[in-house]
Structure 1
Amino acid sequence: MPDARAARCITRRFAYGAVAAVMAMACAQFAPAAFAVGGAPPVGVQPRAPSPGHPPPAARTDRSEGTTASGPVRAQPPRMPFYVATKGQTTLYLLGTLHVGYPGDYPPEQPFRKPILAALDASPTLALEISPDDLLYSQEDVTRYGVCRSECLLDYLPDSMWKKLEARLRTNPAALKEIRRTRPWLASMLVETYDTLKAGFQSEYGSEAQLQNVYLRANGKIVGLETLNEQIATFTRLSSAQQREMLAQDLVQTPAENVADVKELHRLWRIGDADALKAWDDAKTDKLARSKALAASVDNRVVYDRNRRFVTRMLQLAVPNKPVFVAIGALHLGGRRGVLELLRRHGFVVVPG
């Protein structure tokens, strides 16, 4: 079984959450020093189900706002993309997540806005992209489907693309050695992971981890909207040309430019407008795409097919008078083919939370 720390590593397209399961194990294998993420969990935050010998979860803290006579102004959590979808007596709460973040995104005294915390308290079920149990048992599948026995990446890539990748990783020989054995889809995720780390993000401040830390309902359950196999198949079924398109997009810009984009995405996520987030990402994809047709086909598989699957599973979970709290990658929510619009087509009224 993989190390628990491996299950908290960084993901490609960290606001889509497309490979939370995949990168959870890959980080433990590919040049661990290069992927090291510093910092301990926030003060007072413990895993939801501690192992024997570990302290129990911290008590729920005061979530009041404002100041005290002798204390400073309390840090306020970001808005985040949060929406309420209702149809008759059926309610879905939807939060757009990031799989990494900064400590300031989740102030210890109040890690989420009050409406988000109230929705968590009211929901017997917390639905993530995949279940925590699936995430912990995923290393073997990444090795099987993303890693070759030989240096296969050189066979997949044209010489010009390999030279560009080699130049990108010239200061990290350990990572370059390991990435030679990956297929292009996994190489793409690893390249984006490096740039995410350079932006200073920390995996323990990803939304899913923080949500689980505060979801302390005695009878609540946490479920997945798709299985680990479904997530991995999203990428293993891409053609070689589609996989090369993914990697090519990651190599268009300099690492500094990619870091700036990651920070801008984070800024927009804090503001919390799902449609603005998706519009920004669409413009970025249009700028970086080497082949418009291939880029569109990748998005169909990685984003839009999964949006439809998410909605199908949400509707299966939805029960009158028993709200479901759904937390998925923020870029899945907005746009004309996003989860919010698909729910509207199913008769839900969707409003900002």
Structure 2
Amino acid sequence: MRATTPTTRSPSAPLGRFLLDSLVSLAALLPVLLLAALVAGFLSIGRAHAEEVACKGVNLLEGWATTDPARVKSVEAEAARVVNGMGKFWKIEKPGVPASYLLGTMHVTDPRVLAMPEGAPDAFAGAATVIVESDEVLDETKARIALISDPSLTMFTDGSTIETYLDADQKVILTEGLKARGLPLPTVARMKPWMIASFVSLPPCELSRKAGGARFLDQKLAQDAVSQGKTLKGLETIVEQIRAIDGLPIAFHISALVETLKLGSLVEDAMETTTDLYLEGRIATIMPMLKAASQTVDDSDSEQQSVAFEQRIITDRNHVMATRAGPSLDAGNVFMAVGALHLPGPEGVVELLRKQGFTLTVLR
């Protein structure tokens, strides 16, 4: 029995920032499962003795349908205004070349997500080239080396620590929250807050599966591509991905980390709802749902930071992905997999590829 239910949680602007930061990243953007594994490696957090933990999240939209139908209606109305908002599996065509395919993914180990939609396994099997966000997901050691090659991306290198940026209340929350997760604050004090958040923002069941060696979908696709002799290409490096998120204000990351530790079971509920929406192909509903879950109050700083986050972590990277994928797609016979939230919208990957002359048709 939970002490706090999602429908009775009081509004909070930092909660809104957290949901847009940590959960959106978790659901469809940066491969934070890999990052969490790297943090575990840095801290020597044991994975050999991992115990399977059951996922306990509930679908927020289903609960709201009974308790707050107006909220559901608002979420669905906002999603309906987003171009290319339905579908996670697309066919890419251009005259004179074999068809290619685009799959929106979630960077999670959930078996439901690993089971690709109908048609995708055959498209993958027939592809000569596989494109993922970063081919560095193949090798955690290589990824770790890439991260520590620029210590300023992951650590405070100017003599400060995370405590330098905390007020008294934040320090108490961080100290107790990390202690409950077996991470004494002094142990991680020199780590950037996004690095710590990549570990503590994951639901326990995700950490458990990763600790047991489970692969997330993009990682599995990359490994399968190599084992089957396909050409594997990455659109970004992990360092590029981390620079994107590290470039956001430190206060943004501190707030996200602190609020993560305060949220408790709502993290699992939002993750379960995101997963259900993904499986249904309702990609454009994810962001409005997360915003509705946050119950964000009118806070101009929060709104500006959220806009900056979405621009830097979603929109800017959409353009990079579409541009870099173009030459391979021009040759055809490609299976391309990127985070699902990169697909919808007027500056989403689907629309950007159309502007390059490709015809994209939703399949699932």
Q: What TM-score, normalized by structure 2, do the two folds share?
A: 0.70
- Are residues 1:124 and 2:128 paired? yes
Aligned with 2:40 (options 27, 30, 39): 27
Of 179, 182, 195, the match for 2:188: 179
Counterparts in 2 of 1:25 and 1:201: CA distance versus 1, 3 Å = closer
Match of 1:315 in 2: 326
1:237 aligns with 2:247: yes
Aligned sequence identity (%): 22
1:93 to 85, 89, 101: 101
Deviations 1:179-204 (A, max 9, x none): 322112222222213xx224676231
- Letter of the 1:13 partner, please give it: S
Q: Deviations over 1:212-265 (max 9, x none)?
A: 4544775411111012321121133223233334435535x5211111111111
Q: Which amino acid aligns with 2:101?
A: Y
1:142 aligns with: 147
Aligned to 2:238: 228
Number of residue-to-residue matches in the alignment: 297
Shift of the 295–161 alpha-carbon distance from structure 1 to 2, 3 Å rule, reads farther
Q: Is residue 2:27 matched to residue 1:15?
A: yes
Find out whether 1:266 has 2:278 as its counterpart.
Answer: no
Structure 1 residue 296, shift from structure 2 partner: 1.4
By how many angstroms is 1:205 displaced? 4.4
CA contact (8 A) 2:35 2:198 kept: no
In structure 2, C-alpha distance between the alignment counterparts of 1:227 and 1:11, rounded to whole Å: 21
Question: What aligned pairs does 1:322-341 form with structure 2 within 5 A after superposition?
Answer: 322-341=332-351
Structure 1 pair 315–346 and aligned structure 2 pair: CA distance change class (3 A): same
Is the partner of 1:210 in helix, strand or coil? helix
Amino acid at match of 1:100: V
Query: Does residue 302 of structure 1 match 2:337?
Result: no
SS at match of 1:138: helix
SS, match of residue 33 in structure 1:
coil
Q: Secondary structure at the match of 2:119?
A: helix
Q: Give the direction of change, closer, same or farther, for the CA distance of 1:305–1:89 in structure 2 (3 Å limit).
A: same
CA apart distance, 1:151:
7.0
Deviation, 1:105, is 4.6
* Bigger helix share: 2
Q: In angstroms, what is the RMSD of aligned CA positions?
A: 3.4
Question: TM-score, structure 1 length as denominator?
Answer: 0.71
Deviation by residue 1:99-127 (Cα, 9 ceiling, x = unmatched): 22334554xxxx43441012112211111
Deviation at 1:313, TM superposition (A): 0.9
2:73 aligns to what?
Answer: none
1:139 partner amino acid: R
Change (3 A) 1:134 1:211: closer
5+ residue gaps in structure 1?
Answer: 1-9, 40-78
Deviations 1:113-171 (A, max 9, x none): 44101211221111111113565412134342213477711012233222222232332
Query: C-alpha separation between the residues in 2 aligned to 1:306 and 1:11?
Result: 18
Which letter does structure 2 place at the counterpart of 1:126?
A: V
How far is the alpha carbon of 1:291 from its aligned partner?
Answer: 1.2
- Within 1, Cα distance between the matches of 2:50 and 2:113? 17
Look up the match of 1:68.
none
Aligned partners of 1:94 and 1:175: how far apart in 2?
43
For residues 45 and 199 of structure 2, what CA distance do their matches in structure 1 show? 12
Q: Which secondary structure does the structure 1 equivalent of 2:248 belong to?
A: coil
The alpha-carbon distance between structure 1 residues 219 and 257, as it changes in their structure 2 partners (threshold 3 A), is closer
Which of 169, 174, 177 is matched with 1:160 structurally? 169
Counterpart in the other structure of 2:204: 197
Structure 1's 137 and 214: CA in aligned 2 closer, same or farther, altered over 3 A? closer
